[in-house]
A and B are shown apart, each in its own frame.
Chain A
Amino acid sequence: MRRSFFRAPFLPYLLVAPQLLLTLVFFYGPALQGIYQSFLIQDPFGLRTSFAGLANFASVLGDPLYGNAVRVTVVFSGAVVAGAMLLGLILAAAAAQPLRGVQVYRTLLVWPYAVAPAVAAALWLFLAHPSVGIVGRALVRWGVGWDYTLNGTHALLLVVVASVWSRVAYNFVFFLAGLQSIPSSLHEAAQVDGATWFQSFRRVTLPLLAPTTFFLLVVNALYALFDTFAVIHALTKGGPGKATETLIYKVYVDGVVNLNLGSSSAQSVILLVLAVVLTSFQFRFLERRVHYA
């Protein structure tokens, strides 16, 4: 049966060809171009080009502002991953309970995922802006010196909250599915053995959720690193100062705004390596020890 499925030599390739073509054109092409560009010094128009060797990488890695972007990224990503996963887990644990109208809660909790990041950021702007935002104005009135346009900590907090909000729904869906796939007999057995709710959660639920958790950890890290551009762009543009300039935002600023293609390409190559490492890490671990860790 099985073998007959794959006998046609061309059909499978034909079927994946469109996807393959898209990946080649929109991923491999630009990635190779970026790697090539990272070894060049070139004016924006491509009129004058010279080979730079590793000079672009050296100047990126030697730049104290790149160190700043690394620090910002670590803090930002750590907070986003922790916040989004913790909230997702809490909400999923709550929605996994047999409650009245639980379907409604579940549906509502998924909604934020449908909001495009840029739109989400605009919503947060109208909430948090110190002079036009509802929450921002209230904070100012209560004497909190809230001003994310000038206070770096406030700005970082705001982009973290907005990014977490956009991501919680995704984590919620996965955690809920993970929780629902745990057989209730295991919990019942734990209860029979005299385990409290917390013990049962800690000893039964969490270990069985480990594959989901680990998957989400990697996926959320990739999200925080690469997909939060729109939120930062719409809310703070990396400022004030460079308080919210993450690595991916710096690639944009140096490449698109400052038109420094060599440096920007070198930075994106570094990020590419990071993404490859994170992803291979995920595959390694998911196939090995995460189950019943």
Chain B
Amino acid sequence: MSGLRRGAVYAAVVALLLVLGAAAGRAQAPRVQVEFWHALRGPLGEALESIVNGFNASQASYRVNATFKGSYPETMVAAIAAFRAGNAPHIVQMFEVGTATMMAARGAIKPVYELMQETRTPFDPSVYLPAVRGYYSTPDGRMVSMPFNSSTPVLWYNKDAFRRAGLNPERPPRTWAELREAAQRIRASNAAPCGWSTAWPTWIHFENFGALHDVPFATRANGFEGMDAQLLVNAPLYVRNLENIVQMQREGLFKYGGRDAAGDALGPSGECAMLTASSALFARYQREARFEWGVGFLPYYDDVKGAPKNSIIGGASLWVMTSPRRTPEEYKAVAEFFRYLSSPEVSAKWHMETGYIPITFTAIQRARALGYYQRNPWAEIPIQQLTRTRPTANSKGIRLGNMPEIRTILYEEVERALQGQQSPKAALDAAVRRSNEVLRQFQRTAGR
């Protein structure tokens, strides 16, 4: 009895599958499938899905399947493991500090310029902002990965707290001296429980700090020109900046908010009147802040000659991965998807929906034509900051192997300086010594 019944169930399932398969087959010719692994969750992930769906609907030959794979490091590890198993996704989204690691993995990746040449896809890299393009290009200017979600650090501030402290809410501090004064006024009048805090301490106060003041982060043009680079963050200007931060902490003007994005929470919650953080914090300020907020340029030291230069980007780019079984059609599909992404409509839509900066000039034009900057005047600040000068060797970006580890080392040593366990100079000397070991280790494993 039960055997009979089971047979009937199997038959029904098989029949159903056949019918479904036939229906699907009739609806569309087989499309070339492209696997795309990304690390964006929540509203950002939804915005990404909507772009992918737009591409899939725009043509009938290719289908991109976007899959969320966890945080950036998790996505990176997943892609590496998949590559080792011969199953790498076609496209993987990789954070900017993974750039050198990916570039060194020749054989695992296909550079974007090569992809576009091989597939004869018309593609113009010059539509990308120089600060964006440079970060992901070889020293001679060939684009290796596809810029996607980029942001740059800015100064977020609480206009209501500025008013309470008797500060001009339309004039955010431009220099570190002004920021210190503003923080003093805010604390003296108790306009906010905390004057200033920061997210992404290493990205903002070392990587971008070097770019703004045109001092190198590492030798060999911040690593762009060779794997034998050495860290330079114990140079006097970096030491001065860390001393300033430690001093402000002692005076109760600065509050350490933690590593990476942990400090984000201190701004929109109203706890800190000023927050140096990513321009992509827009979504949170808009949703969470119960006060009027504004955006200013990242502060700088005005006695440093040539400062301020352009800031550098953070965020992630898209890498094309290889696999033993890749076909030319699959590469063509990837190239077409990238071309779609770089179109003014799509990149402007991405910019306006997510708060990431527009990565192409054409996207800025389009967003302007749509009146986006009239409605959101703040949104032009990060763009101006990124484009205010031509990128120098020190403001093009960072290209160091094992960069995530170097960031961790800087966190650890800076935290020990903030705890008063060592002087800022000693902290940065130790960070340089430890980071150089890490760089040499990268050179040994990847540089052969």
Contact = CB atoms under 8 A, between A and B. Distances in A.
Interface of A: 41-48, 50, 131-132, 147, 149-152, 237, 239-242, 253, 256-260, 262
Interface in B400-448: 402, 404-405, 408, 411-413, 415-416, 418-419, 421, 438, 441, 444-446, 448
Interface residues on B, range: 35 or more
Listed from nearest, the 4 A-B pairs whose CB atoms lie closest are A240-B415, A258-B405, A45-B108, A45-B105
B361 interface: no
A47 B259 contact: no
B104 A43 contact: yes
A237 B408 CA distance: 10
Contacts of B411: 239
The interface residues of chain B, by DSSP majority, are classed as helix
Nearest to B415: A240
A257 B73 contact: yes
Contacts of B271: 131
B446 to A, nearest CB: 5
A151 B73 contact: no
B265 A132 contact: yes
Contacts of A42: 445
A96 B421 CA distance: 48
Interface in B245-270: 256-259, 262, 265-266, 269
B362 interface: no
A44 B441 contact: no
Contacts of B448: 48, 50
Contact of B444 (A41, A45, A258): A41
| B101, B256, B265, B445: most-surrounded residue (chain A CB, <10 A) | B445
Contacts, number: 80
B105 A257 contact: no
Nearest to B407: A257
Contact of B408 (A132, A147, A257): A257
Contact of A47 (B105, B258, B405): B105
Nearest to A63: B437
A2 B51 CA distance: 68
Contacts of A237: 259
B84 A46 contact: yes
B83 interface: yes
| A132, A258, A259: most-surrounded residue (chain B CB, <10 A) | A259
Given A257-B73, A257-B408, A239 B415 contact: yes
B236 interface: no
B21 to A, nearest CB: 32
Contacts of A260: 402, 405, 441, 445
